């Protein structure tokens, strides 16, 4: 009985496999992505770096010089001098109801367009989408005139009109952001399995049950992603508050940075510290909803 030797080829080592995978095209893509990431991070890093240094030091040695002294004094000064606590509260009064009402109304409309068989549903969705293409600056003057003529009771607005009240800013934010949210949620709901709702109908579920207890929980990733984006956009908005609010004590946080500017001199290191403080809430919201945000953006990529 003879045995025949079988040559066994040794398995390639890990470095060899990794070296084969690093093709020039992949290296180019990674280099491009790293360059773009650094380009976006550079202003933020420079602002944080400048906020930690005294203005006298940067004016003498330049903003790109090595630091001689680092401290958090500018953050304390920016928070106290600008009165940011009051402006943070004003921003939350505008942004939180705006986000919640926008998502609530958009989910209703998107469910009707995506799940209920409606005549003209596609045309209605196109109208909602087309509303986002309208430049906001075009209707500033008409809205200004209209809000000055809409009366409100004193307990809703101390100006007795829609103008110079939070209601005007919240209403405009909802109106302009509703179309985008309807477009995203309607397309998201179309990807949900139709068999789930058909089984619910067989079990006797009505339209409200199909929406509230079945469809809406499945839309949690999309709602989280939209909530993050909407909060960021409403939080950073400055135009509508500047146009529709005349009382300085009602302005949002984006206007607090103006209080850090002097009449004849502006400490840009102090302004950088204030900008970092203003940006922190949006970073906190993104970190809290990061998992749902990424899930909403990447949903459907593996289908």
pLDDT bucket at 297, cuts 50 / 70 / 90: low
DSSP the chain: --------PPPPPHHHHHHHH--HHHHHHHHHHHHHHHHHHHHHHHHHHHHTS-HHHHHHH-TTSPPS---SHHHHHHHHHTTHHHHHHHHHHHHHHHHHHHHHHHHHHHHHHHHS--TTHHHHHHHHHHHTTS-GGGGHHHHHHHHHH-B--TTT-TTSBSTTSHHHHHHHHHHHHHHHHHHHHHHHHHTS-HHHHHHHHHTT--HHHIIIIIIHHHTHHHHHHHHHHHHHHHHH--HHHHHH---GGG--GGGGGGGG--SS---HHHHHHHHHHHHHHHHHHHHHTHHHHHHHHHTTTT-
Global pTM value: 0.82
- Please, what is the average pLDDT of the chain? 85
The yes-or-no verdict on residue 50 having pLDDT over 70 is yes
Check residue 257 and give its pLDDT: 81
């Amino acid at each position: 009985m003879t045995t025949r030797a079988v040559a066994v080829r040794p398995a390639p080592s890990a470095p060899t496999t990794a070296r084969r995978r690093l093709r020039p095209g992949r290296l180019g893509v990674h280099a491009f992505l790293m360059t773009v990431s650094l380009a976006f991070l550079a202003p933020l890093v420079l602002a944080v770096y400048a906020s930690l240094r005294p203005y006298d030091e940067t004016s003498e040695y330049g903003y790109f010089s090595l630091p001689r002294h680092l401290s958090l004094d500018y953050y304390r000064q920016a928070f106290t001098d600008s009165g940011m606590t009051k402006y943070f509260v004003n921003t939350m009064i505008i942004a939180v109801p705006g986000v919640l009402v926008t998502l609530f109304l958009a989910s209703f409309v998107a469910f009707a367009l995506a799940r209920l068989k409606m005549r003209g549903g596609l045309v209605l969705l196109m109208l909602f989408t087309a509303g986002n293409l309208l430049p906001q600056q075009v209707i500033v003057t008409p809205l200004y005139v209209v809000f000055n003529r809409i009366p409100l009771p004193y307990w809703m607005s101390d100006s007795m009109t829609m103008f110079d009240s939070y209601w005007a800013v919240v209403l405009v934010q909802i109106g302009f952001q509703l179309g985008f949210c309807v477009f995203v949620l309607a397309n998201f709901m179309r990807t949900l399995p139709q068999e789930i709702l058909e089984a619910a109908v067989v079990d006797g579920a009505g339209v409200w049950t199909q929406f509230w207890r079945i469809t809406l929980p499945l839309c949690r990733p999309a709602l989280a992603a939209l909530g993050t984006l909407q909060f960021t956009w409403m939080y950073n908005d400055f135009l509508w508050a500047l146009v529709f609010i005349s009382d300085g004590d009602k302005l949002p946080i984006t206007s607090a940075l103006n209080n850090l500017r002097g009449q004849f001199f502006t400490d840009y290191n102090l302004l950088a510290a204030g900008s970092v403080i203003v940006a922190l809430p949006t970073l906190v919201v993104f970190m809290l909803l990061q998992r749902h945000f990424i899930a909403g953006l990447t949903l459907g990529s593996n289908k």
